[in-house]
């Protein structure tokens, strides 16, 4: 979706808007990141969160860094809705219901985010 020399952003296939921010250089822990990497990560998270809030008007935004299965520094950012299948559980938790979401175009959302990322991070 987006990449520069410091970070890359990937789409997680899901019923909800969900992006992941990775460092280009493999790092196991956030404390191993350079200041440039940390700055780029937080800039990307800020841009994505603000665009998710504006575009989707979700119930909540979830931002997390786990890395237990993929031992690389990366952050998940997802828009959550009362109508999604798992809310209020995490997306890998126990399914609560069949989702009833009708969301605007994910492709247009990604295009808007990409434009802002290019302007801020090149």
Give the CATH number of domain 2-121.
3.30.428.10
Q: C-alpha angle 19/25/29, rounded to 5°?
A: 75
Beta pairing partners, 80: 60
| Each residue's pLDDT tens digit, 40-91 | 999 999 999 999 999 999 999 999 998 777 778 899 999 999 999 999 999 9
Average pLDDT over residues 86-98: 94
How do the domains of the chain map onto residue ranges?
A: 2-121
User: Residue 119 and residue 20: Cα distance in Å, rounded?
Assistant: 19
DSSP letter string, 45-72: HHHHHHHHHHHH--SEEEEE---SSS-S
Average pLDDT over residues 22-41: 96
Lowest mean pLDDT among 9-18, 51-60, 92-101, 108-117: 92-101
Confidence band, pLDDT 50/70/90 cuts, at residue 38: very high
Burial class (CB in 10 A: 0-12, 13-18, 19+), 109: buried
The Cα-based distances of 50 to 24, 26, 79, 94, 118 in angstroms read 23, 27, 11, 28, 16
Write down the pTM of the prediction.
0.94
């Amino acid at each position: 979706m987006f990449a520069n020399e410091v970070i890359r952003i990937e789409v997680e296939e899901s019923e909800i808007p969900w992006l992941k921010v990775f460092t280009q250089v493999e790092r196991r822990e956030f404390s191993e990141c350079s200041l440039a990497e940390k700055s780029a990560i937080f800039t990307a998270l800020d841009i994505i969160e603000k665009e998710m809030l504006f575009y989707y008007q979700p119930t909540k935004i979830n931002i997390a860094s786990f890395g237990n299965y993929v031992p690389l520094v990366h952050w998940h950012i997802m828009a959550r809705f009362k109508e999604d299948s798992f809310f209020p559980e995490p997306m890998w938790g126990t399914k609560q219901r069949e989702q009833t979401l009708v969301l605007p175009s994910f492709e247009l959302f990604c295009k808007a985010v990409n434009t802002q990322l290019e302007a801020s991070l090149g």
